[in-house]
Structure 1
């Protein structure tokens, strides 16, 4: 679970990050990264898993996997620098992807948007 300060819950922040941020996609996920102004707000992460991914059980499983994988990848990257907003959007192929495949796709997308 992500700490409360690092959870993205505001709909406007999701919208701005998706429309204005850097984007990288793969077969299972799309990652949007928006760098904010240089204030003291912590990095925030949000997840979008639509009904196109599957029934509620499948969507929740995908969301749990992505949450755990994102936490691992951010720890390996040394966290996100400064006030950034990261949105991870699951695609329908994520429902049938293995944990390892989701991890590879997420890592590759994060490396592209943070480079």
Structure 2
């Protein structure tokens, strides 16, 4: 489970990450990564729209994504904001497919972040 200290809660933070962050799209999800001050823990948030399914399906997808991101939260730079938006395909995707898409998106986002700083 994603620790409480690493959860993104403020609407302004979601907006900042989506509008100003780097984007990496995959078939089941889209990841956005925004760097901020280096003094805080990395934060992760999730967007699961009604196009994914009904409330039960959306909550299941959100729980699965939270579990997967918790395994990668230590890879994120300090002070960063990560927003993961689920695509409709996430509702029917298996665990391995979601995990592979998240891993691939994070690789692209982190590779871009390191290139942008150098």
What is the CA RMSD across the aligned residues, in angstroms?
Answer: 1.0
Paired residues for 1:4-83 under 5 Å: 4-38=4-38, 40-74=39-73, 78-83=74-79
Residue 96 of structure 2 corresponds to residue 100 of structure 1: yes
Shift of 1:73: 2.8
Question: Following the alignment from structure 1 to structure 2, what is the Cα–Cα distance between the partners of residues 106 and 16?
Answer: 20
**Displacement over 3 Å in runs of 4+:** none
Deviations 1:15-55 (A, max 9, x none): 010000010001100000000133x1111000000111001
Count of residues in correspondence between the two structures: 111
Shift of 1:79: 2.8
Q: TM-score, normalised by structure 1?
A: 0.92
Structure 2's unaligned 5+ residue stretches are 112-118
* Structure 2 contact 33–109 (Cα < 8 Å) conserved: yes
* Structure 2 contact 5–41 (Cα < 8 Å) conserved: yes
Question: Following the alignment from structure 1 to structure 2, what is the Cα–Cα distance between the partners of residues 58 and 5?
Answer: 26
Give the structure with the larger helix fraction. Answer: 2
Q: TM-score, normalised by structure 2?
A: 0.90
Structure 1's unaligned 5+ residue stretches are none
**Secondary structure in 2 matching 1:63:** helix
